[in-house]
Amino acid sequence: MDAHIETRIDILRQHLIDPEICIRCNTCEETCPIDAITHDGVNYVVNAQVCNGCMACVPPCPTGAIDNWRNVLRSEAYSVDDQFGWDALPAQNEEVNAPVEVPAQNDEAPVASDTVRGSTVAPWSAARPYVQLYTHKAPALATVVGNFRLTDAAASSDIRHIMLDFGALPFPVLEGQSIGILPPGTSTDGRAHHARQYSIASPRDGERPGYNNISLTVKRVQREDGKGVCSNYLCDLQKGDVVTVIGPFGNTFLMPNHPDSHLLMICTGTGSAPMRAMTEYRRRRRATGETGKLMLFFGARTRGELPYFGPLMSLPKDFIDTNLAFSRMPGEAKRYVQDVMRERANDVAQLLGDGNTHVYVCGLRGMEDGVMQALEFIARSHGLDWPTLWEQLRREGRLHLETY
């Protein structure tokens, strides 16, 4: 064998995750079909022994942190433990950075279709999002202009509506995008806290129309294991406080912009943030004569635990078809969003059969299976070929799943 070829064979194009950009949202670990991605309390990492470069994890990553590669000698590939210790990616060693023959699949970035349930592309008519305008190295500063509780005083969960103003700093966003918040301080190991990702709850033209501000829907998480640092930080913010922000993130969970497009939205708890953003955007454009339908399924423990209950219920019935599912109302049977979807099967099926319908699911991880099963049941019981429809929804950027 010729020495040149031998060198090529020994070089690995190692897949790595940039710890400076990663917002630890777990999307990659969930997406990886062969469990090559893992994490500790600090970093998400790729096991070079397992990764086959299938690229399934790359499109769903909201930040692009996943799309990093280093040419290394195969025998010197960075181990999982090496990567757990990183604060930043190592530089490319130019001595091993000879051209490498990369398998065709790596260039074409196919998505293993059986591993990603939802779309990895945006709706065709979505506006083009800006992503990562502000990074860890150059973050944006925003001022808190409001922080109020959305859940009843007696409710067990403290969910808050937090408004951030960027002043003169450009911070363009679209409904469905998220931002990263960098809480101040360090964790017990002395490292800076990681950014936490929050969906934006306001439309593109601002929480207050025409203002350069956004809102977030944040639930206070009380955990003894140190989790919840960022949600507590946010929930305790006072007007006038300054927050460090990175992003925006996300280029697929976006709303269609063509006027006759329908939105089928399914959420629980704080998963309502993007639904609020999309609904509010459409409400503001209502006067333009849009004909698209909005149908919402929203789950919470009780009425008092449902964020935005009041404003939601005052929206005109001919604008949005709202269906609430309460699981812990005293004296009432437990109902989940997927149960209520089945009760409204005829109308859901009508939407599913319409090529202009875009489906959004956001909230508890546990809900995703139940919702997908309900969609399948409804489709099948109304004569729709579910495997074909599902594939079409996915391919056309019409099925967006964001559960955590």
Q: Cβ closer to ligand A2P: 250 or 269? A: 269
Query: Residue 15 in contact with residue 103, Cβ under 8 Å?
Result: no
First to last CA, the chain: 50
How many residues line the site for ligand A2P (CB under 6 A)? 16
Query: Residue 344 in contact with residue 198, Cβ under 8 Å?
Result: no
CB of 48 to ligand A2P, least distance (A): 35
Q: Is residue 255 at the binding interface for ligand A2P, with CB under 6 A as the rule?
A: no
Distances (CA, A) of 10 to 14, 16, 101, 219: 12, 18, 11, 49
Antiparallel, parallel or unpaired: β 159-165 and 44-46: unpaired
Segment near ligand A2P (CB under 6 A); pick from 222-230, 248-256, 310-318, 365-373: 365-373
Amino acid 367 reads M
Six-digit token string for 136: 């860890």
The CA distance from 271 to 220, in Å, is 14
Q: Is residue 276 at the binding interface for ligand A2P, with CB under 6 A as the rule?
A: no
Closest CA to 23 of 41, 44, 38: 44
Q: Cβ closer to ligand A2P: 54 or 361? A: 361
For 218, residues 6+ apart whose C-beta sits below 8 A from its C-beta are 159, 160, 162, 198, 231, 234, 235, 270
Q: Cβ closer to ligand A2P: 71 or 151? A: 151
Q: Cβ closer to ligand A2P: 71 or 157? A: 157
Q: Is residue 139 at the binding interface for ligand A2P, with CB under 6 A as the rule?
A: no
Count of C-beta atoms within a 10 Å radius of residue 351: 19
Segment near ligand A2P (CB under 6 A); pick from 10-18, 31-39, 66-74, 363-371: 363-371
The CA distance from 346 to 383, in Å, is 11
Q: Is residue 151 at the binding interface for ligand A2P, with CB under 6 A as the rule?
A: no
The CA distance from 253 to 177, in Å, is 7
CB of 275 to ligand A2P, least distance (A): 14
- 78-137: contacts with ligand A2P (CB under 6 A): none
CB of 197 to ligand A2P, least distance (A): 17
HEC string of 192-224 equals: ECCCEEEEECCCCCCCCCCCCEEEEEEECCCCC
Closest CA to 399 of 251, 253, 219: 253
* The only residue of 370, 376, 377, 404 in contact with ligand A2P, by rule CB under 6 A: 370
- 323-362: contacts with ligand A2P (CB under 6 A): 327-328, 336-338
The CA distance from 335 to 26, in Å, is 28
CB of 159 to ligand A2P, least distance (A): 9
The CA distance from 201 to 223, in Å, is 24
CB of 161 to ligand A2P, least distance (A): 16
* The only residue of 14, 31, 157, 261 in contact with ligand A2P, by rule CB under 6 A: 157
Segment near ligand A2P (CB under 6 A); pick from 2-10, 11-19, 34-42, 296-304: 296-304
CB of 377 to ligand A2P, least distance (A): 14
Q: Is residue 372 at the binding interface for ligand A2P, with CB under 6 A as the rule?
A: no
CB of 344 to ligand A2P, least distance (A): 15
Characterize 2-25 residue by residue with b for buried, 16 or more Cβ atoms within 10 angstroms of its Cβ, and e for exposed.
eeeeeeeeebbebbbbbbbbbbbb
Q: Cβ closer to ligand A2P: 92 or 156? A: 156
Q: Is residue 367 at the binding interface for ligand A2P, with CB under 6 A as the rule?
A: yes
Q: Is residue 301 at the binding interface for ligand A2P, with CB under 6 A as the rule?
A: yes
* The only residue of 364, 386, 396, 404 in contact with ligand A2P, by rule CB under 6 A: 364
Q: Which residues of this protein are in contact with ligand A2P, per CB under 6 A? A: 157, 268-269, 299-301, 305, 327-328, 336-338, 364, 366-367, 370
